[in-house]
């Protein structure tokens, strides 16, 4: 029985969903968010895990299923770096004049 993990686009809840079969998972309707009822959910690609008696393998699958950090955070840091770089350049220009 395959388990997939989903992340709700509405409230960002990450939840597991059990399908009766892989075929049902691939062709069936996406599950509803148990928190807010939204069907706007994203399947976490690497999260496909088959129920097993190996808790280590299952934990590993869950770890890799964590959503990526928001790209906005990285962009902000890059912008901050660019801002500092610009400041350095303008200071250098002032010194040269």
Q: Applying CB under 5 A, which residues contact Zn ion? A: 8, 10-11, 13, 33, 35-36, 38
**Quick one: 30 or 58, whose CB is closer to Zn ion?**
30
- Paired tokens of 80: 């901050």
Extract long-range pairs of 11-15: CB within 8 Å, 24+ residues apart: 11/35, 11/36, 11/38, 12/67, 14/44, 14/65, 14/66, 14/67
Smallest distance, Å, CB 13 to Zn ion? 5
Return the ∠ at Cα 61 (arms to 57 and 63), rounded to 5°. 115
**Quick one: 28 or 37, whose CB is closer to Zn ion?**
37
Smallest distance, Å, CB 18 to Zn ion? 18
Smallest distance, Å, CB 39 to Zn ion? 9
**Quick one: 10 or 67, whose CB is closer to Zn ion?**
10
């Amino acid at each position: 029985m395959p388990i997939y993990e989903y992340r709700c686009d509405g409230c960002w809840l990450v939840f597991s969903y059990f399908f009766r079969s892989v075929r049902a998972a691939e062709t069936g309707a996406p599950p509803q968010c148990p928190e807010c009822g939204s069907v706007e959910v994203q399947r976490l690609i690497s999260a496909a895990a088959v129920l097993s008696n190996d808790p280590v393998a299952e934990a590993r699958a869950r770890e890799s299923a964590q959503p990526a950090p928001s790209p906005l955070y990285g962009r902000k840091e890059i912008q901050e770096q660019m801002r500092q770089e610009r400041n350095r350049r303008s200071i250098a220009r002032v010194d040269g004049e």
